[in-house]
Amino acid sequence: MALKISLKPGEKFVLNGAVVENGDRRATLLLQNRASVLREKDIMQADQVTTPARHIYFPIMMMYLSDHADEQLYEQFVLRMNEFMGVVSAPEVLTDCVAISRDVMADEFYKALMRCKKLIAFEQERLV
């Protein structure tokens, strides 16, 4: 099944490690096979890793974009997830943490990233 991506003018995304930028008009791409795709809004730069939930998101994102398994990224993820789960008591957040961990163990990194956005939102609510 093809993946359909609709792009705004000038929107950037990463496709299998290559940064691609759309031209000056809306465009639609159809990807016919499996590929690692991450929109600009979902890309986190290293200097944006400023909170515990972002420390979880970043290594997952790097694993997703990598073309090979990276033990250091996985260890970083495990460490940060354990730290996060050690200080959070909300059952729904802990359930999300377990689901994210399962996704990572199953190499379902994109799914884990989308779930991790909930952790970032939860954290943001607490920090404001």
Q: Please give the average per-residue pLDDT across 116-120, as a whole number.
A: 96
Label residue 110 by pLDDT band (50, 70, 90): very high
Nearest-5° Cα angle at 68, 63 to 74: 40
Give the three-state DSSP class for 4: strand
- What's the pLDDT at 79? 98
User: What proportion of the chain, given as a percentage, has pLDDT over 70?
Assistant: 99
| In the predicted structure, residue 44 carries a pLDDT above the cut 80 | yes
- What's the pLDDT at 26? 96
What pTM does this model have? 0.90
Q: Please give the average per-residue pLDDT across 68-85, as a whole number.
A: 95
| In the predicted structure, residue 128 carries a pLDDT above the cut 80 | no
Determine the Cα–Cα distance for residues 93 and 122; give it in Å rounded to an integer.
8
List, as one string, the DSSP characters of 49-86: --SHHHHHHHHHHHHHH-SS--HHHHHHHHHHHHHHHH
Q: Please give the average per-residue pLDDT across 18-40, as a whole number.
A: 92
- What's the pLDDT at 48? 96
Q: Please give the average per-residue pLDDT across 21-27, as a whole number.
A: 95
| In the predicted structure, residue 17 carries a pLDDT above the cut 90 | no
- What's the pLDDT at 45? 94
